[in-house]
Structure 1
Amino acid sequence: MADNLGLLSVLLCTILFQVSLAVGNLNVEAFSNGSFSISVGGKQWFRSGSVGVRDLGRWWSQEDGSLELTGSGQSEGVINVGPFTSYYYEWQAKGASSLTLTTTVSVFEQMPAVLFVLVFNDKATNTSSNVNSTLSTFPSFVIEEGPVDRGYVTWSGNMARFMKIDRWSPDVPIYSNIDGGLPLVVYDSVMENAVVMAPASDFMSANQATFNNTTTGEKTLAFGPLSSITEIPAGYVCSMVLVAGNNVTDSMMQFGNFLKTFYKKDESYRKSDFTINYLGYWTDNGACYYYDTGNYSNYEEVLDAVYADAQTANIPFRYLQIDSWWYYKGPENGVKNWTAKPSIFPNGIEAVAKKTGWPIEAHNRWWSPVTDYAKQNGGKFEFIVESEASLPVEEEFWDFLFSSSKETWNLLVYEQDWLDVAVTRLQALRNTVGLGRMWLKQMGAAATRYGLTIQYCMPWPRHLLQSVEISAVTQSRISDDYTPGNSQWQIGDTTILASALGLAAFKDNFHTSVIEKGCHNTENEPAPALETYAAALSGGPVGPSDHILKANRTLIMATCMSDGRLLKPTHPVMSLDSTFLYRAFQSSGPNGQLWAAYTEVGPFTWYYIISGTMSSAYTMHASELPPSTNVKPRTSFPPSLAYTYTLDGTVVKAMNFTGTLDIPECSVTDFQYWTLSPIMASGWALLGELNKVLPVSETRVVDIITSNGDIHVVYLSGEPGEVVPMTVYDTGSGTTEVTSCTIDSSGNSYFLFPHGPCVDSM
C-alpha cells in the first residue's frame, strides 16, 4: 500500500495543463488550477469543491485564500491496479501555519476509477473538532441538481445494516457519521450509471462529511481523516477512490475489485474457511442456549447433549460456536481474561472439543480496563488503558492468545464482536490516526500465522473496508442479533457490501422450528423456512441454534450435503438494483425485499429469486437480474423455465419464463421463491435437487459437459454413499423425471442428462 500511494504522490514537474481522460462510462477532466470535473455516461455529475485542512485549531482553505496553490504537474506510472495518469498539486498554508500539502488525481487506464491522494508533507497539530466530520476537504464534490436525476445509497450502523437512501440533491441531507456513510453510491434514476465514493486507505481513520462553502453558498461532500483526530504526522497519506459502473451492484463489485487488487487481498482464505463451507451449531444471542443451560448444570453438559442429539438425528454439524457466556468479564462487562470459567466448562473447552471432534469458533468482545493481560494490571503486554476499555498495541499479545487457544482447545475461527463499541468506548481509537488500522492488522497477522480466520461482528462499514488489508478476515455478520420473529433475515442490501469486499456474509443463527419451549427466548419463530433460505442463499456460514430434540432436520439438510458441506450459489443473494430506485424515487421498482442469487456451471446459469416481504405486487423483468459470465439480462435472456417447488420434491408451478415474473404481495410466512432453469435445445431443463434450497449449487454440480448446445453429463460431488436425486423437466410434456445418483467412494457421480443413469466414471 505504501509503495502504491507513494508512487502516486511524487511531484515530477510543474506545468500548466487542462486534460481529459475517459475510461468506460467515466470521464475525468483535471485543470492546473487544482480543480477537476467528473462526467458519467457522457454528462457532468460532479465538479470539485475547494481544498481545505485544519491546523493550529483553525481551517486553512483555498476558499478564503489561506491555502495557496504553489505548483502543479502531470506524470504517468503503473501499479498493480494498472497504468495511470496523475495530476499533482502543491499547497502552502499562509500565515501562522507552515503546513504544506500535496494532492493528486490519478486516472486509471484499464478500469473506470480515479484515485485522489492527499499527503501531509508537514505535521498538523490541534486538528480536532467534532467526531462526525473531516479535518481536510480533498477531494470534495459540489452537490447540485442535474443533469440527470440521481439517488444515493450508503451503509451505516452496527453490522452495516442500516441503509440511508435518498435523492442526490443540495436540499437533501447526505448521511455522514463515524458509524457510516461509507461507501457512498450515487446512481441515476434509470439505473444505467453509478459511481462509488469511498476512502482507499487507513479506513479506520477516514470519513466523509458535507460542508457549506461560505463564499459561494454551495454544499459540498468532502473526504478526509476523521475530525476527532488530534494531530497528523508528517508524511501521512490519505486517499479516496471513485469507481464507476452501470448500477449499484456493478459499481460496488468494481469498487471492491479495485481495493482487493490494490491491497492484494488473498481470497483463498475465505474460499477455504471451514466454517464458511460446513454446517455449524451456534450459541450466540437468539440461540436456545444463549446464557441459558436449560435443564443442565453447565455448558459442558449442554454441548455434550447437543452433540448426542445431532448424532441421533443425523444432523452433520461440523463445528461449534461458543459465545460471550464462557469467559471472565470486568465490572463494565469488557473482557478481563479470555479463558473458560470452571463453572461453565468444568473440564475446560478442550473436553467438549475432544468429545465432539468439533473445532471451535470463539466469541470475544472489547477489552476491559482491568484486563489481566495489560502491563498496567500486572500482565505481560502493552495496552492502551482508558476508563471504559483498553486495547492491545503489540502483535505478540495476539500470538499468545491465538497459539494457546488453538493448541489447547482447537480454536478455528476468532469472532471479534462489539467492534463498534470498542471505538465508542476507547477515545484513542477516535483521536489517534492509524491506531484502528494497526489494531486490526496486528490481530489479522497473528491469525494468519496460526492458521486461523476471523469473523467481524457489530462492525461499522469502516471495519469492513479495513478488512481488504487483512486476508484472515473472511466473514462478517451483516444482520442484527437474531430473535425469533424479528426481521434480521433481511440481508439483501448488506451482502452487496460484504461480497464486494471479499467477505462471506453471515445472517446469524436461527431456529428451524416454530415452537421451541425451554429456550432463552420464549417467542415462537413464525418463519423458520425463510430464515433457512436466507442463510443458505447468503453464501456465508449457516448456524442453526435449536433446542435439543427440536431441530427441523428437513430444513437444516436443505442447506447442505450429508456430510454438512454447504450447498452454495456462485453469486450470493443481493437486493435487486431496482429496489434502490423505489426507495430513492418512489416511482419504479419493487416496494419490498426482492433479491436474486445465481449458480453458474459451465455455460449455464440458474437464477434464484426470493421475496420475503412485498407491500404490493410487482412484475419483475429479466433485465433486473444480475449478470453472470454467460447471461447478460439487460440485452438478452436464454430460454428458461420458471418454477417453484416444495422440499419433498414436488414441482408446484412451472412455466416458460417469457421475461417477466409476477411477484405477489407477501409476508414472511408466504414468502416467494422462484428458480429459473435454462432450457436445453432438447426441451429438457435440469431442475436439480428439489430437497435443497439451492437445487443446482456450485458445490454439488461442479462441472457440466455439453454436446450440441445441450447438457450431456452433469458432474456431481458429495459424500461417498450419499444419494442425490436429480430432477429434470420436459417442457414439451410438462412432466418430471427423477434419477437417484449414489456418490461413489471417490466422492463423485456422473449423471447422464436427461434420463440417466448415473455412473461412477466417464
Structure 2
Amino acid sequence: MHKFGILAGISAIFVAGINLAPYAMASSPPQRLKLAGASAQLQVTVSPNSGIYAVTFMPFHWSFSGAVGSPITQAKVQSGMDANGPWQEVAFTWPGKQANQAFIRCYSKKPMVEFNLDIHGPAHTPFPVFPAFTRSPVRLLHFSFANHVFYPHVFKLAATATPWILFDNHFHTAVISPLHGFMTNAMIGNGQSLIGQTVGRRVRLREGTLRLATIMIFGRGIENTFSQWGRALTTSFHRPHTANNAGALLKYLGYWTDNGAAYYYHFDKAIGYIGTLLALKKQFASEHIPLHYIQLDSWWYQKSNRSVSGRPLGAMNDKIAQGTWNHYGGTMLYKAAPELFPDGLAAFQHQLGLPLITHARWIDPASPYHKKYLISGVAAIDARWWNHIVHYLYRSGVICYEQDWLNEIYRHSPAMASTPGIGKAFTGNMATACEKYGLAMQYCMETPRFLLQGAHYGNLTSVRVATDGFCPDRYNDAIYNDAFARAIGSWPWVDNFRSTETENILIATLTAGPVGVSDALGKESASNIFRAIRADGVIVKPDEPLVPTDQTILNDARHLSRPLIAATFAHQNPRTDYVFICRRDGDRGEFTVTPTSLGISGQCYIYNLRTHNGRVQAATVAISGHLKPAMWKYYELCPITSGMALLGDTAQFVPTGRSRIPHVAISHDTLAIALRFAKGEDTLPLQVYAARMPKVSASMGAISAMRYQDHVASFQVKRTGTSSPETITVTVRAGG
C-alpha cells in the first residue's frame, strides 16, 4: 500500500510566494491562493478575482475545478487542528441571495480536502452547489450506492447522500461524499460536467444555519481508499470503529427468527411460541451447540393490520393463532403481545436464560403514542419515547435493538427530508437511549443516508447488507456492501440462514460480523456450525469483512462478466489471506487472481479449503481456473517464511482467526504459535507447511498424531494437566 508522507507544516502562499496566513486579503486581492498538503502531493488553489477553485492530486495528475460564479471577498488563510490532524484552509465569501460563507480545508497528514458552506435561514431551493466541480479527470469509472433499500451498489453516481467513488484502470481512486446533513443533502451531477453536493429540493430552512460539508480523499486502491475515507469520516465524529468481538451479537453464535427463518410468524402449535423457543435451546444444548442470544422478530410485539401506506392487511399466518402479534402493520404498542407472552417479555427472557435481540418497525398512525410523544410521520423523534421503550427492553434482558423498515420510515416521515434536524432527532435519540441502557443497535432496510448518519454512533455495531433470506443470489450485494458497513465503523450482517447451508454459513463467517442460524428443531448441522465457532460459541473469524478485490470492481464497472472474487484476512505475522470466488448469473467461468494483488510477496502456500490440498507457488503466479454455473471456490493464502507457512486449525472456516490463533511469532527458523482453547476443548488440530520435516513441541501440552505428507505437517495439540492455560504456545522448528 502506498504511504503518503507527512508534511511538517502546510504552506499557504501566493503564486508570487508571499505568505498570506493569517491576514485577511487587502482590497486588491492576489491572483491565486494556494494550499499544499500530504507532503505537497495535494494542492488546493483559489482564485479570488474569478471565483475559481481547484483540487489537484499530483501523483495521479488529477485536477478537479469549479467556480462560485462571481469574485470572492474577505478571503483569508487560517490554520488549526481537528480530529483528522493539522490543516490549513482558505475561508471566503461570495455574493448571492445572501452572503455565502465558505472554506476549503487541506490536511497535512492525509490526502484529504474538506469543503464547507454555511447557509443561513430563511432559505429555500434552489440552494447553492458546493463544491461544484465542472472540470474533472476524463474517463474515470464511477461507483456509488443507490437510494434504495439495502443500498445496492451501482456503477454510476447516485443522486443521494452517498459516497461517490471515482477510479481509473490503475486503481487510482478519489472518494467524495457529504460530511454532514445526511438526512437532507445529496450528491449531484454526472461525474463529468458536474460533481457536487447540494441541499435537497424539499428543504425549507426557516431559521438557523445549515452546513453543506463535503469530504474528499485520494488514494491508491479502490477498497483501500474507501476504507481510508471511512476512517476519516468516523474520525470526524470521534466515533471508534467497533471491534468484531464487541458484545454477544458479534462475538458468539446466535439464533434468529426473522423473515426466512423456520420460526418466523410460526411455531409448534402443541407447545406455543415460548415452548418452541425453549425446546430449540434445549435441542441445541443436547448437541453441545452453545447459543448465546435469540433474536425476536416483528412477531413479538403489538401491531396494526395496515401497511405503512395505510393499505389493509390480513394475518401474516392465517393457519395459526390470531392476535395483534400476527398482524403485519405498524407498531401499536412496543410491548410483548400478551397472546404469546402472558407474563411479559422479562419473564420469558428469565425462563429462556439467554439475552435477546428485538426487532422494531414504524409507529402506526393510529398508535396511542401519537397522543403522548412527538412522532414525525411514522418516526419517533421524542427522547422521552426512546427512553421509555429502551428502558423496557433493558429490564427485559435485551442487548440489541434492531430498527427495521428504515427506508419506509424515511419515505413516510416527510419532515426528515424537508426539515433539518428531524432525521437526526430520530436516529440520535435512538442511539442516546440505547447507549444509556447499554444496548447495541442494528439498522435494517437502510438506505445510504442512514449508513452515513450511523457513522456518528459507536453503539451501531451491525447493519444489514442484503435483503431477507440469505442465499447465493444475495452474495454479490452483501459482499459489495460489506465495505460500506465497515467504513462507518460497524460490521455487516447478512441475515439468517440454515446451518445446513455450508456456503451461507461460510460467507457469514467471512463477513467478520454476526453469525446467526434459523433451523427448525432437529434440523441443525452441528458439523457446519463448529466450522464457524469454537466449542464455547465464540466465532472464529477474520479481522475484516470479505470485500470484492479491486480487479473485480474494475471488471464489473467495465461489464466484463467475470466471476466475483472477494478477499479478507487474519493479520498474523505474516497475515493470512482468504479468497472466495463464485460465479454469478451472467458471468463467464474463467477466473484469475494473483497473490501480489493482495499484498503478498515471495513464495506462498495456496491451500484449497474445500478439497484440503495445496501447493507452493510464487506470489507473482496467478491462481486461475474455471467455474461451472453456481459453483464456488475458497482458498487460504499463506506466505512462506523461513521455509514454513502456518495453515492453522483447518477444521475451521478461518483457520488462523484470532479467537483460535491470537498471535504468531517468527524467528529465523522457528514458528511460535499461540493456540487458544475454549472450555470443553482438550485437543485441537494444526497444520503447517514445511519444506522439510519440522520438529514440533508445546508448552503445557503434548503433540500427537504427527503426520508429514506433501510437505505439510498435520498434528494434534492436547492440553495436559488440570491447570493448563487457555492458550498454549506451539513451537515449530524447521527441519535440518
TM-score class normalised by the smaller sequence: 0.7 to 0.9
8 Å contact from structure 1 (residues 157, 460) kept in 2 = yes
8 Å contact from structure 2 (residues 242, 490) kept in 1 = no
Q: Does 1:740 align with 2:717?
A: yes
Question: Residue 86 of structure 1 aligns to which amino acid in structure 2?
Answer: E
Q: Does 1:402 align with 2:390?
A: yes
Q: Does 1:21 align with 2:20?
A: no
Closer, same or farther in 2 for the Cα pair 1:106/1:748, shift >3 Å? same
8 Å contact from structure 1 (residues 480, 488) kept in 2 = no
Match of 2:114 in 1: 115
Closer, same or farther in 2 for the Cα pair 1:669/1:125, shift >3 Å? closer
Closer, same or farther in 2 for the Cα pair 1:687/1:18, shift >3 Å? same
- Between 286-295 and 106-115, the greater mean CA deviation after superposition: 286-295
Paired residue secondary structure (1:536): helix
Query: Residues 93-147 of structure 1, C-alpha deviation per residue, up to 9 Å, x if partnerless?
Result: 2xxx4x2210110000010100000112x3133437xxxxxx330011125563x
Match of 2:638 in 1: 677
Match of 1:187 in 2: 167
Match of 2:77 in 1: 74
What are the residue-to-residue correspondences of 1:627-642 with 2, within 5 Å? Answer: 632-633=599-600, 637-642=601-606
Match of 2:326 in 1: none
Closer, same or farther in 2 for the Cα pair 1:259/1:485, shift >3 Å? closer
8 Å contact from structure 1 (residues 562, 722) kept in 2 = no
8 Å contact from structure 1 (residues 720, 745) kept in 2 = no
Closer, same or farther in 2 for the Cα pair 1:489/1:581, shift >3 Å? closer
User: In structure 2, which of residues 514, 521, 546 is the aligned counterpart of residue 573 of structure 1?
Assistant: 546
Residues in 2 aligned to 1:489 and 1:301: alpha-carbon distance in whole angstroms: 37
Question: Residue 366 of structure 1 aligns to which amino acid in structure 2?
Answer: W
Q: Does 1:753 align with 2:731?
A: yes
Gaps of 5+ in 1: 1-9, 52-61, 129-134, 167-173, 213-217, 514-527, 626-631, 757-762
User: In structure 2, which of residues 79, 84, 93 is the aligned counterpart of residue 90 of structure 1?
Assistant: 93
Residues in 2 aligned to 1:162 and 1:482: alpha-carbon distance in whole angstroms: 16
CA RMSD of aligned residues (A): 2.6
Closer, same or farther in 2 for the Cα pair 1:28/1:469, shift >3 Å? same
Match of 1:534 in 2: 507
Distance apart, 1:720 and its partner CA:
5.2
Closer, same or farther in 2 for the Cα pair 1:668/1:411, shift >3 Å? farther
Question: Residue 168 of structure 2 aligns to which amino acid in structure 1?
Answer: D
Question: Residue 754 of structure 1 aligns to which amino acid in structure 2?
Answer: V
8 Å contact from structure 1 (residues 37, 44) kept in 2 = no
Q: Does 1:354 align with 2:350?
A: yes
Q: How many residues align?
A: 665
Match of 2:614 in 1: 653
Match of 1:523 in 2: none
What are the residue-to-residue correspondences of 1:207-226 with 2, within 5 Å? Answer: 207-210=186-189, 219-226=193-200
Closer, same or farther in 2 for the Cα pair 1:312/1:12, shift >3 Å? farther
- Between 611-620 and 468-477, the greater mean CA deviation after superposition: 611-620
Residues in 2 aligned to 1:554 and 1:679: alpha-carbon distance in whole angstroms: 30
Match of 2:333 in 1: 337
Closer, same or farther in 2 for the Cα pair 1:745/1:372, shift >3 Å? farther
Closer, same or farther in 2 for the Cα pair 1:235/1:496, shift >3 Å? same
Paired residue secondary structure (1:203): coil
8 Å contact from structure 1 (residues 418, 458) kept in 2 = yes
Distance apart, 1:337 and its partner CA:
0.8
Q: Does 1:299 align with 2:270?
A: no
Paired residue secondary structure (1:753): strand
Question: Residue 620 of structure 2 aligns to which amino acid in structure 1?
Answer: G
Question: Residue 706 of structure 1 aligns to which amino acid in structure 2?
Answer: I
Match of 2:533 in 1: 560
Distance apart, 1:548 and its partner CA:
0.9
Residues in 2 aligned to 1:700 and 1:159: alpha-carbon distance in whole angstroms: 36
Match of 2:105 in 1: 106
Question: Residue 718 of structure 1 aligns to which amino acid in structure 2?
Answer: A
Q: TM-score scaled by structure 1? A: 0.82
Residues in 2 aligned to 1:640 and 1:556: alpha-carbon distance in whole angstroms: 29
Distance apart, 1:709 and its partner CA:
5.5
Residues in 2 aligned to 1:309 and 1:143: alpha-carbon distance in whole angstroms: 64
Closer, same or farther in 2 for the Cα pair 1:198/1:671, shift >3 Å? same
Residues in 1 aligned to 2:135 and 2:575: alpha-carbon distance in whole angstroms: 40
Question: Residue 463 of structure 2 aligns to which amino acid in structure 1?
Answer: S
User: In structure 1, which of residues 164, 175, 184 is the aligned counterpart of residue 158 of structure 2?
Assistant: 175
Residues in 2 aligned to 1:558 and 1:183: alpha-carbon distance in whole angstroms: 36
User: In structure 2, which of residues 402, 409, 419 is the aligned counterpart of residue 415 of structure 1?
Assistant: 402
What are the residue-to-residue correspondences of 1:240-255 with 2, within 5 Å? Answer: 240-255=214-229
What are the residue-to-residue correspondences of 1:609-628 with 2, within 5 Å? Answer: 609-613=579-583, 615-625=588-598
Q: Does 1:325 align with 2:299?
A: yes
Distance apart, 1:710 and its partner CA:
3.2
Distance apart, 1:22 and its partner CA:
4.0
Q: Does 1:731 align with 2:710?
A: no
- Between 323-332 and 709-718, the greater mean CA deviation after superposition: 709-718
Gaps of 5+ in 2: 1-20, 308-328, 693-709
Question: Residue 114 of structure 1 aligns to which amino acid in structure 2?
Answer: V
User: In structure 2, which of residues 99, 122, 125 is the aligned counterpart of residue 124 of structure 1?
Assistant: 122
Match of 1:31 in 2: 47
Question: Residue 129 of structure 2 aligns to which amino acid in structure 1?
Answer: T
Paired residue secondary structure (2:517): coil
- Between 433-442 and 296-305, the greater mean CA deviation after superposition: 296-305
Residues in 1 aligned to 2:651 and 2:244: alpha-carbon distance in whole angstroms: 27
Closer, same or farther in 2 for the Cα pair 1:414/1:745, shift >3 Å? farther
What are the residue-to-residue correspondences of 1:28-67 with 2, within 5 Å? Answer: 28-32=44-48, 33-51=50-68, 62=69
8 Å contact from structure 1 (residues 300, 346) kept in 2 = no
Match of 1:718 in 2: 678
Match of 2:316 in 1: none
8 Å contact from structure 2 (residues 404, 444) kept in 1 = yes
Residues in 2 aligned to 1:257 and 1:319: alpha-carbon distance in whole angstroms: 30
Residues in 2 aligned to 1:294 and 1:233: alpha-carbon distance in whole angstroms: 57
Closer, same or farther in 2 for the Cα pair 1:268/1:176, shift >3 Å? closer
Distance apart, 1:605 and its partner CA:
0.7
Residues in 1 aligned to 2:671 and 2:149: alpha-carbon distance in whole angstroms: 42
- Between 537-546 and 78-87, the greater mean CA deviation after superposition: 78-87
Paired residue secondary structure (2:617): strand
Closer, same or farther in 2 for the Cα pair 1:307/1:668, shift >3 Å? farther
Paired residue secondary structure (2:130): coil
Q: Does 1:383 align with 2:360?
A: no
Question: Residue 109 of structure 1 aligns to which amino acid in structure 2?
Answer: S
Query: Residues 570-612 of structure 1, C-alpha deviation per residue, up to 9 Å, x if partnerless?
Result: 122110011121122346xx712110010012x3111100012
Distance apart, 1:159 and its partner CA:
5.4
Paired residue secondary structure (2:455): helix
Match of 2:131 in 1: 139
Residues in 1 aligned to 2:223 and 2:200: alpha-carbon distance in whole angstroms: 27
Question: Residue 640 of structure 1 aligns to which amino acid in structure 2?
Answer: C
Distance apart, 1:12 and its partner CA:
6.6
Residues in 1 aligned to 2:562 and 2:416: alpha-carbon distance in whole angstroms: 39
Closer, same or farther in 2 for the Cα pair 1:721/1:579, shift >3 Å? closer
Closer, same or farther in 2 for the Cα pair 1:544/1:75, shift >3 Å? same
Residues in 2 aligned to 1:427 and 1:125: alpha-carbon distance in whole angstroms: 18
Match of 2:152 in 1: 162
Paired residue secondary structure (2:294): strand
Paired residue secondary structure (1:469): coil
Distance apart, 1:663 and its partner CA:
3.6
8 Å contact from structure 1 (residues 326, 341) kept in 2 = yes
User: In structure 1, which of residues 605, 616, 619 is the aligned counterpart of residue 575 of structure 2?
Assistant: 605
Q: Does 1:691 align with 2:651?
A: yes
Identity %, equivalent residues: 22
Question: Residue 687 of structure 2 aligns to which amino acid in structure 1?
Answer: T
Distance apart, 1:365 and its partner CA:
1.2
Question: Residue 210 of structure 1 aligns to which amino acid in structure 2?
Answer: G
Match of 1:592 in 2: 563
Q: TM-score scaled by structure 2? A: 0.85
Distance apart, 1:676 and its partner CA:
1.0
Paired residue secondary structure (2:163): strand
Closer, same or farther in 2 for the Cα pair 1:576/1:437, shift >3 Å? same
8 Å contact from structure 2 (residues 685, 714) kept in 1 = no
Q: Does 1:644 align with 2:608?
A: yes
8 Å contact from structure 2 (residues 458, 489) kept in 1 = no
Distance apart, 1:41 and its partner CA:
4.5
